[in-house]
Amino acid sequence: MTRVRSISSLAGLQVSVDELLYMPGLQAPPERRHPFAYYITIENQSDRPVTVLGRKWIVQQEEGGTLVVEGLGVVGKTPRLLPGENFSYNSYHAVCANAEVSGGFLLEDDHGRTFAARVPDYHLEVPFWAA
């Protein structure tokens, strides 16, 4: 039998998109030739330590369908954040056209309770000179 965890929100967990940059020099497959770097901060203003277990991104492209990216941790890490701490990192998405991005993180406290923290939705707009 598979154990199903309930996932809820936790007051004080906040995620911000600090910066988005079109980065044509980053490696990207030919069918998704427009890379965008994103800079994210996860803040723990809650009353308990939490560990980032994973993330999920949904990238809805104006042309070319939807990409779903999910996995364990963030950039190869599973950071533990004490109350008042934050974790910042950057990575990138490669798209074939303008896209809308939504997503979130799965976190766990020291008692095994899991929580979701949404990333504010953001838009990737390919510059006119790169189209």
Query: CA geometry: angle at 10 spanning 90 and 117, to 5°?
Result: 30
pLDDT of residue 9: 78
What is the DSSP track for 68-121? EEEEESBTTB--EE-TT-EEEEEEEEEESS-EEEEEEEEEEETTS-EEEEEEEE
Pick the CATH number of 7-121 from 3.40.50.150, 3.50.50.60, 2.60.40.10, 2.60.40.1470: 2.60.40.1470
pLDDT at residue 131, as a whole number: 74
Close Cβ partners of 81 (under 8 Å, ≥ 6 residues apart): 42, 43, 44, 49, 50, 51, 52, 87
Two structure tokens written together for 80: 């533990």
pLDDT at position 5:
52
State pTM to two decimals. 0.88
Q: Phi and psi at residue 56, in whole multiples of 5°?
A: -145, 130
| pLDDT at residue 4 in the model | 47
Q: Where are the domains of the chain?
A: 7-121
Residues in the chain where the model's pLDDT stays below 50: 1-4
Separation between Cα atoms, residue 112 and residue 93, nearest integer Å: 31
Pairing state of beta strands 114-124 and 7-8?
parallel
Res 63: pLDDT: 84
- Predicted pLDDT at 72: 95
* Cross-strand partners of 63: none
